[in-house]
Amino acid sequence: MPFIPHTKSDIQTMLNTIGVSSIENLFDEIPQNIRTGKFKTIPDGLNEMELMRLMQTRADQDKLDFNFIGAGAYEHHIPAAVWDIVTRGEFMTAYTPYQAEASQGTLQLLYEYQTMMANLTGMEVSNASLYDGASGLAEAILMAVRLHKSSHKILILNSLNPNYKKTVKTLVSPQNIECIECTLENIKEHKNKDFAAIVISQPNFFGLLEDVDKLTDWAHENNSLVIAVVNPLSLAILKEPGKWGKTGADIVCGELQPFGIPLASGGPYAGFMCTKKEFIRQMPGRIVGATVDKENKRGFTLTLQAREQHIRRAKATSNICTNQGLLVTAVTVYLSLLGFEGLRRVATQCHSNAEYLYKKLLELNFIKPLFPDKPFFHEFAITLNKPIKNMAGYNLEKDFPEYKNSFLLCVTETKTKEDLDLFVENLAHGK
């Protein structure tokens, strides 16, 4: 679609029609005292050449060194075909489309995405994506509070990603929702305390696997919903949240980045959300449904739109139109190319590589496990008894001051045995 700017005379004609003298006057009803005026920190415009030079300098700072940092964003192999397909003109849009008659291809792709996510999580329904994993969790919390009706309190296991905690706080505290953190050890003290939901991450921030069955049943016995925050890749080899405990998790959300989305210095990424069918009217985000046209031919369209802002206005349960369409396209193409077997192999390779590095590192006398004998997926935490310069892991002390000299290490399918041996050897020689 071409971009056709308004000419000065177009603008004047429109202003004359509505009887306003200038564009500035359109904003008259906004009081002067709340206007920001000119942004002082934003510099003057650059010409194209200056801009290219600036952006190149910035891009040059962005290097991917040999490292083992995961902590919420994961390095995975992205088959070349993924972005080759995604960047085709037919797919190249960021939005989920309203116009079913003009968008069958995109809608079918999103429908297939939803089907794959529902299968992977073991849930009945999926939406067409959210902004990212962290804001997806905030949306899940808002949804749980709407569903529960009587409680505005949420219990969060403190092993959740600290960035997710910050995002959740930003998004839900203005709505008077109280988030209380607990540990596995003191969770029992919160029995019968009327929480709308409990947030369980699997694997948790430290890569460890929680006893999700027990936690899920405990939550349900206490009249709370269960929000599962999962790494979707791990679901290729771990139990799907739909089967946790006796009746399964209620809302499942997480980050789609591991599925074909490049690390790209932290974004853009995309989030997902799945739930039980009985809760679908409280789910945010767009939902694509299959239907038939008047000739009885199968087709796809947005459905359950009465939840959304363009119909329900201020009372909408969904204010998200998702501009993550392009990333979801990448996810869908990635999953289609790998298939379930391919995905299982990626997850298994990640796990066995991580196991291998973990064993090798523990052979070094200055490295101790932070959480001994706990099962993990592809990430684990260690403590160093001597300082190592530029340790290629995520420093846990930043967010958890109690874990001194401790690092979170992640190993995916992108590392070979030679890479891992070399890393251990370098550490052994104090490099």
Partner 1 sequence: MKQLPPDLKYTKTHEWVKTQPDGTVLVGITDHAQGLLGDMVFVELPQVDREFKQENEMAVLESVKAAADVYCPISGKIIETNPKLQNQPELINQDPYGEGWICKLKPSNESELNNLLSAQEYEKET
- Residue ranges in contact with partner 1 by CB under 8 A: 149, 281, 306-307, 311-312, 315
Enumerate long-range contacts of 104-108, CB under 8 Å, 24 or more apart: 104/299, 104/300, 106/325, 106/329, 107/288, 107/299, 107/300, 107/301, 107/302, 108/300
Quick one: 93 or 309, whose CB is closer to partner 1?
A: 309
> Shortest distance, CB of residue 137 to partner 1, whole angstroms?
25
308: phi then psi, degrees, rounded to nearest 5: -95, 165
> Shortest distance, CB of residue 299 to partner 1, whole angstroms?
17
Quick one: 190 or 312, whose CB is closer to partner 1?
A: 312
Q: How many CA atoms lie within 13 A of 138 on its CB side?
A: 22
Largest Cα span, the chain? 81
> Shortest distance, CB of residue 148 to partner 1, whole angstroms?
11
Which structure tokens are listed for 294? 């008047």
272: phi then psi, degrees, rounded to nearest 5: -125, 160
> Shortest distance, CB of residue 166 to partner 1, whole angstroms?
33
> Shortest distance, CB of residue 270 to partner 1, whole angstroms?
27
Residues 6+ apart with CB under 8 A from 78: 260, 261, 262, 334
Distance CA 274, CA 128 (A): 10
Quick one: 167 or 318, whose CB is closer to partner 1?
A: 318
Residues 6+ apart with CB under 8 A from 145: 151, 152, 154, 175, 177, 196, 197
> Shortest distance, CB of residue 85 to partner 1, whole angstroms?
36
Quick one: 118 or 147, whose CB is closer to partner 1?
A: 147
Quick one: 313 or 398, whose CB is closer to partner 1?
A: 313
Quick one: 311 or 422, whose CB is closer to partner 1?
A: 311
Distance CA 128, CA 285 (A): 7
Distance CA 52, CA 162 (A): 35
**Sequence letter at residue 129:** S
> Shortest distance, CB of residue 295 to partner 1, whole angstroms?
20
> Shortest distance, CB of residue 254 to partner 1, whole angstroms?
28
Distance CA 308, CA 315 (A): 9
Quick one: 69 or 145, whose CB is closer to partner 1?
A: 145
Q: Which helix (H) or strand (E) holds 51?
A: helix 48-60
Quick one: 147 or 228, whose CB is closer to partner 1?
A: 147
